Amino acid sequence: MTQGREAGLLDAASAPPPATMKSDFDPMATPPKHTVLIAEDNAQLRRLFTTVLTAAGYVVVAVSHGGEVLPSIQEHQPDTLLLDLGLPGIDGFTILQEVRSGVGSSLHVVLTTGRLLEDHDPALQMADGYLLKPIGLKDLVESVRPSPQ
């Protein structure tokens, strides 16, 4: 787990880091530090996402296996789950169902997939967003920020 703000690194590509979100309409709804749980089995992608999101000011936890996702949610209480639909072990869709029916029902979930999803895909309807690989860094940073409620 890494955290920190490498000033300037993502200026051109990223959304404002959480610090600036205090100026949002309802600042109390967004805690100063967002935690993102990355569930991605490809180690290089995990590293890329971790690097980028850390640089953007997020606290990042990363797991690689489907079975690790739910325990990790329990442990770290993330604000956002970046979930690969094609995880080994428990697949992404099952995890999504578990999350939505359980404690993490308000968790901001962004799906990542190599497959173009149809609008009516059930996974898409349970998620808050989805990113088609390859994922642009700007899209990545913007999508993991939970919308203030």
Site residues (CB under 8 A) for other proteins? Answer: 6, 8-13, 42, 44-45, 48, 51-52, 114-115, 132-137
Which residue reads 């089995």 in tokens? 41
DSSP conformational letter for 132:
E
User: Shortest distance, CB of residue 106 to other proteins, whole angstroms?
Assistant: 28
Closest to 14 in 3D by CA, of 60, 54, 59: 54
User: Shortest distance, CB of residue 5 to other proteins, whole angstroms?
Assistant: 12
User: Shortest distance, CB of residue 72 to other proteins, whole angstroms?
Assistant: 21
Question: Got the DSSP string for 28-59?
Answer: GGS-SS-EEEEE-S-HHHHHHHHHHHHHTT-E
